[in-house]
Structure 1
Amino acid sequence: MPSKVNKTPRIVVAGRTAWRPGLDTTNPVIAALEANLGTSDAAKVNALGTGLLADAVNGIHDQLNDLNSGADVTVVRVAEGVDTATTAASIAAVVNDIASIPSKVNKTPRIVVAGRTAWRPGLDTTNPVIAALEANLGKILAVAPVDVDDTSTSNAIDARETMSSERLMPIGVAARIWDGAQTVTAPMAPRVAGLMIRIDNQVGAGKPFHPFANRSLFGLAGISRKIPFSTLDGSTEGQQLLAANVAIVAEGETGVDGAVAD
Structure 2
Amino acid sequence: MSDPVFGLSITQMDNEPRPAIVTNMSIVGLVFTAPAADATEFPLNEPVLFYSSDDAKLAKMGKTGTGYNAVKLINQQLGQFQAAATIVGVRVTEGATPDETIVNLLGDINARTGMYALLNAGAELGITPRLICVPGYTSQLASSADANVIIAGLPTLLDRLLAVAVVDGPATDETAASAWRATIQSKRIIPVDVAAKVIDDVGDVVTVPASPAIIGIAVRRDHEFQGRPFHSWANQPVYGIVGPSRPLEFSILDGATEGQQLLSKNIGIIVRGESTDGALADGGFLYVGTDTCSEDTLWQFYNQVRGRDYIHLMFIKTLRFFLGRRNIDRGTIEDILATMKGGLRDIQATGDLLGFRVNFTRATNSPEQLRLGRFTVAFQAEEPPVLRYLGIQSARYRPALDALLDDLLTSLDA
- TM-score of the superposed pair, with normalisation by structure 1: 0.89
Name the CA distance, whole Å, in 2 between partners of 1:223 and 1:122: 28
4+ runs deviating over 4 angstroms: none
1:13 aligns with 2:26: no
Name 1:261's counterpart in structure 2: 281
1:187 aligns with 2:187: no
Deviation at 1:66, TM superposition (A): 1.4
Name 2:220's counterpart in structure 1: 198
Name the CA distance, whole Å, in 1 between partners of 2:186 and 2:48: 28
1:90 aligns with 2:134: no
1:67 aligns with 2:81: yes
1:78 aligns with 2:92: yes
Conservation of the 8 A alpha-carbon contact between 1:95 and 1:132: no
Higher relative contact order (CA 8 A, sep 6+): 1
Seq. identity, %? 32
CA 1:252–1:86: 2 relative to 1, 3 Å:
same
Deviation at 1:135, TM superposition (A): 2.1
1:56 aligns with 2:73: no
Q: How does 1:28-67 map to 2 (within 5 A)?
A: 28-31=40-43, 33-51=46-64, 52-67=66-81
Q: How does 1:155-166 map to 2 (within 5 A)?
A: 155-166=176-187
User: Letter of the aligned partner of 2:206 in structure 1?
Assistant: V
User: Letter of the aligned partner of 2:30 in structure 1?
Assistant: V
DSSP 3-state at the match of 1:47: helix
Name the CA distance, whole Å, in 2 between partners of 1:34 and 1:95: 9
Name the CA distance, whole Å, in 1 between partners of 2:118 and 2:189: 15
DSSP 3-state at the match of 1:77: strand
Deviation at 1:83, TM superposition (A): 1.0
Name the CA distance, whole Å, in 2 between partners of 1:38 and 1:194: 12
CA 1:241–1:123: 2 relative to 1, 3 Å:
farther
CA 1:220–1:49: 2 relative to 1, 3 Å:
same
Name 2:323's counterpart in structure 1: none
Q: How does 1:180-259 map to 2 (within 5 A)?
A: 180-207=202-229, 209-253=230-274, 256-259=276-279
DSSP 3-state at the match of 1:12: strand
Name the CA distance, whole Å, in 1 between partners of 2:224 and 2:41: 29
Unaligned runs of 5+ in 1: 1-5
DSSP 3-state at the match of 1:253: coil
Name the CA distance, whole Å, in 1 between partners of 2:242 and 2:144: 30
User: Letter of the aligned partner of 1:107 in structure 2?
Assistant: I
Deviation at 1:30, TM superposition (A): 2.4
CA 1:191–1:142: 2 relative to 1, 3 Å:
same
User: Letter of the aligned partner of 2:34 in structure 1?
Assistant: A
Query: Which shows bigger deviation, 227-236 or 62-71?
Result: 62-71
Name the CA distance, whole Å, in 2 between partners of 1:206 and 1:92: 30
Name the CA distance, whole Å, in 2 between partners of 1:68 and 1:61: 9
Conservation of the 8 A alpha-carbon contact between 1:123 and 1:159: no
More strand by share: 1
Conservation of the 8 A alpha-carbon contact between 2:24 and 2:227: no
1:141 aligns with 2:155: no
Considering only CA atoms, is the larger Rg found in Structure 1 or Structure 2? 2
DSSP 3-state at the match of 1:29: coil
Unaligned runs of 5+ in 2: 1-22, 108-113, 283-414
Deviation at 1:157, TM superposition (A): 1.2
Name the CA distance, whole Å, in 1 between partners of 2:62 and 2:145: 36
Name the CA distance, whole Å, in 2 between partners of 1:178 and 1:156: 25
**Total equivalences in the alignment:** 250
User: Letter of the aligned partner of 2:72 in structure 1?
Assistant: N
Conservation of the 8 A alpha-carbon contact between 2:166 and 2:192: yes
Name the CA distance, whole Å, in 1 between partners of 2:250 and 2:158: 31
Conservation of the 8 A alpha-carbon contact between 1:175 and 1:223: yes
Name the CA distance, whole Å, in 2 between partners of 1:211 and 1:75: 25
DSSP 3-state at the match of 2:253: coil
Query: Which shows bigger deviation, 35-44 or 215-224?
Result: 35-44
- Pick from 134, 147, 163: which aligns with 1:114? 134
DSSP 3-state at the match of 2:236: coil
Query: Which shows bigger deviation, 60-69 or 105-114?
Result: 60-69
Name the CA distance, whole Å, in 1 between partners of 2:103 and 2:123: 24
CA RMSD in angstroms, aligned pairs only: 1.9
- TM-score of the superposed pair, with normalisation by structure 2: 0.58
Name the CA distance, whole Å, in 2 between partners of 1:127 and 1:157: 14
